[in-house]
Chain A
């Protein structure tokens, strides 16, 4: 959570009034055959968005797999990435450019753990701006008996369009039942 958000909450507690943080939509994955989910009609009257993800993939191997996301159905090579990943042994740093989607962290598979979910807290800043590129930051991680990962990453989307749709998949593998994707608006 950002200092910005903490500041908003402090203002609210001091009598600022109104809601600064609203739940907009939650997608609960009930089956094991869904390979993608999307927030299709994102309201344009907030300053920032937060997405909270708890998910795992259906696959007969340990994985992990990556949560991939794109904006406004844009699969052109418009995405850039910087990330730090710790796996319990070392920390690695990677960069990517001209990607066709965004990397929002690793999640485990059903095979690796029947009960552990990978989680991400994603923040999209000034998502309605048509004057600058959209930046995203992600805190992600999971731990189970086979492997573990914690990561900090930031993505950049090059077009200067307001974001009206966000789509997700998990390296094209089915998303497990019990997974959820929640969207919040921040004033």
Chain B
């Protein structure tokens, strides 16, 4: 536990979560969602849950971002709401 590092990570986590919901361009929403996954991966690694962090880095930040990009490629790029 490194409190100041934790606080920075948690603030960035909330900011990226809100931004990825609010942004209209779905491709940037996907990218920001990848950043969110990577931040939560850092948080878990820092708390000592290395297995969970590993899964989050490979699945959340890696493959699911690719899936979302592939879906955006085949649908429309801008969100309607």
Specify whether A and B are partners.
no
A interface residues with partner B (beta carbon < 8 Å): none
B interface residues with partner A (beta carbon < 8 Å): none
